[in-house]
């Protein structure tokens, strides 16, 4: 297992920022979800890194976890598109997101999410309580007469681990745990004109290996060998169907879910179908705060 250095964390953030910039340039009317997603994943590999999770583009009322499936037919037109990309470099993680409004109708929601992120970054330092970050985010989004999504949050980052403690709230949840030197966190505001609460939807195409157990089926064993190559990071169905028959992949995923060997991550949708925008940076808590995914 790699033991990433501070420079590795910076490198992961830099590649993640470059990948996000590419995504923002590619998401335009007439482009396809599948084509853009594949280009983003390829860009990460071309930069000698691996995806920390499959590139995701969640549109309109979908806040997160929409990942193009192998036969995805979505064509960009007038959607509000949350682009979320992550990079793993020598085990270090860079995770960032932003939103593109192809409709031209939701600039206020996009700005609210971005302002929430800016407000959070202003208060981040060693010793900052987590609920103070959440309060800064909520106040900034509320100033636009919009709501943060309360049951989505930022999170800690660790070696080959995209989601770990601490939870970084998007409102004042009362958690006075403080930031400590050496923490790596992702701050991730979501702004919406909807309920501010999400639920799990479908179809799901994102999974993660969580347990290692023996399996009987030869088909499932072969697919599991492929899954193990992702080093415990989230993966998507189309990465498997690139090398294995789709029917075999679906059979194996179903069996692996039943055996609790993998976990699924369905799309997350605002309860009232409100429009959602997202903004995110990765932060390295050192004597001087480093926003690893920020491009100067």
Q: How many Å apart are CA 25 and CA 23, to the nearest integer?
A: 5
Which listed residue (188, 255, 270, 281) is catalytic?
188
* Burial profile 232-269: b = 16 or more Cβ within 10 angstroms, e = fewer: ebbbbbbbbbeeeeeebbeebbebbeeeebbebbebbb
Q: Would you call 98 a catalytic residue per the annotation?
A: no
Which listed residue (115, 163, 255, 270) is catalytic?
163
Q: Would you call 246 a catalytic residue per the annotation?
A: no
Q: Would you call 163 a catalytic residue per the annotation?
A: yes
Phi-psi bin for 174: left (phi > 0), alpha (psi -120 to 50), beta?
Answer: left
Q: Which pair of structure tokens corresponds to residue 250?
A: 């679906």
Which listed residue (95, 132, 255, 270) is catalytic?
95
CB atoms near residue 189 (< 10 Å): 33
Q: Which of 151, 8, 37, 27 has its CA nearest to residue 77?
A: 27
CA distances to 2, 55, 233 from 158, in Å: 11, 19, 11
Q: Would you call 280 a catalytic residue per the annotation?
A: yes
Which listed residue (41, 61, 98, 155) is catalytic?
155
Q: How many Å apart are CA 16 and CA 282, to the nearest integer?
A: 9
Q: Would you call 8 a catalytic residue per the annotation?
A: no
CB atoms near residue 216 (< 10 Å): 8
Q: How many Å apart are CA 86 and CA 53, to the nearest integer?
A: 6
Which listed residue (84, 98, 101, 132) is catalytic?
84
Q: Which residues are catalytic?
A: 84, 95, 155, 163, 188, 280
């Amino acid at each position: 297992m790699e033991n990433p250095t501070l420079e590795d964390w910076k490198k992961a953030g830099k590649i993640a920022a470059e990948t996000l910039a590419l995504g923002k340039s590619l998401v335009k009317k007439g482009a396809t979800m599948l084509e853009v997603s594949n280009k983003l994943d390829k860009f990460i590999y071309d930069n000698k890194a691996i995806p920390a999770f499959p590139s995701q583009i969640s549109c309109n009322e979908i806040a997160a976890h929409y990942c193009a499936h192998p036969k995805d037919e979505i064509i960009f037109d007038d959607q509000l598109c949350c682009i979320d990309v992550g990079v793993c470099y020598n085990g270090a993680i860079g995770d960032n997101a932003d939103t593109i409004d192809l409709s031209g109708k939701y600039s206020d929601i996009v700005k609210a999410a971005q302002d929430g992120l800016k407000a959070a970054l202003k208060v981040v330092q060693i010793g900052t309580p987590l609920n103070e970050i959440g309060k800064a985010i909520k106040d900034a989004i509320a100033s636009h007469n919009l709501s943060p999504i309360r049951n989505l949050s930022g999170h800690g980052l660790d070696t080959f681990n995209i989601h770990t403690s601490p939870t970084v709230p998007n409102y004042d949840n009362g958690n006075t745990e403080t930031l400590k030197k050496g923490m790596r966190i992702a701050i991730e505001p979501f702004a919406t004109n909807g309920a501010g609460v999400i639920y799990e939807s479908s179809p799901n195409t994102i999974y993660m290996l969580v347990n290692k157990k023996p399996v009987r089926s030869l088909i499932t064993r072969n697919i599991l060998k492929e899954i193990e190559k992702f080093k415990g990071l989230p993966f998507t169905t189309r990465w498997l169907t690139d090398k294995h028959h789709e029917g075999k992949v679906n059979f194996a995923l179903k069996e692996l879910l039943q055996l609790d060997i993998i976990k699924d991550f369905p799309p997350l949708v605002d309860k009232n179908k409100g429009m959602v925008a997202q903004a995110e940076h990765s932060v390295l808590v050192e004597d001087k705060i480093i926003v690893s995914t920020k491009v100067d």
